[in-house]
Structure 1
């Protein structure tokens, strides 16, 4: 049996850009991708802390060190610049893999720079 579990999350990142006319996706600073293990084109779920919106899209790389969290296309309607998001990715694991499973949780400062990389999802 496979179980779908949290792979990684970026906790309380701040939206830096919303571009309705772009074709779609969420641009994420490459530093955050590296810290979390998330990859370009990966499916993600986004949860807006400010308004309760929940939506999904895929990742594109934003410049390293930019702090960018850019919502593009239809996703730009779900949050405003300055809103806080929780960005999550889920993966499937076998029972054997779950014996060593620990999701990656990346906490950020007010500029979306990683400040803590936790291996526990108890945040």
Structure 2
């Protein structure tokens, strides 16, 4: 049976708090953010850097809940640094039938890495006025 790879969840516009090039790898995220986006430790995550335009794949690690930590580790710290705005996304594979009904979990963030809202994806430039650069 054919399958499709679909967006599972997204943390939209996190601010990177730390970078540790000497750590083995990964992206360390506040546990509350992992829970909100249905991400488990060691799950593959895509990191899209809004500030620099870079993209990478790594895996998630857990920081204490409420800490606001968004720390990029290892070689990825050359592509993402403190203060950068990033989007963290996960994907899942499902049947074509399930994909046609699927709605991803979109977590919109505040400037201090707190959850602003969990909402449906809005296509196009509709959110343009919500963010300051």
**TM-score by structure 2 length?**
0.88
Alignment of 1:79-98 (within 5 A): 79-98=80-99
CA distance in 2, matches of 1:10, 1:34: 11
For the aligned residue pairs, the C-alpha RMSD in angstroms reads 1.2
Aligned residue for 1:2? Answer: 3
The structure with the largest alpha-carbon Rg is 2
- Asked if the contact 2:6/2:99 (under 8 Å) is kept, the reply is no
What corresponds to 2:16 in structure 1?
15
Question: Structure 2 CA distance, aligned partners of 1:17 and 1:66?
Answer: 12
Structure 2 unaligned residues grouped into runs of 5+: 128-133
Kindly state the Cα deviation for residue 98 of structure 1 after the two structures are TM-superposed.
2.0
Q: For the Cα contact (< 8 Å) 1:104–1:121, is it kept in 2?
A: no
**Structure 1 unaligned runs (5+)?**
none
Q: Secondary structure at the match of 1:37?
A: coil
Matched residue, 1:70: 71
Cα deviation, residue 121, structure 1: 5.3
Where 1:74 maps in the other structure, the secondary structure is: helix
1:34 match: 35
Instruction: Give the Cα–Cα distance (whole angstroms) in 1 for the partners of residues 121 and 84 of structure 2.
Output: 24
Whether contact under 8 Å (2:26, 2:72) holds in the other structure is yes
| 3-state SS of 1:31 partner | helix
Equivalenced residues, count = 123
TM-score by length of 1: 0.95
Query: Does the 8 Å CA contact 1:103/1:121 hold for their aligned counterparts?
Result: no
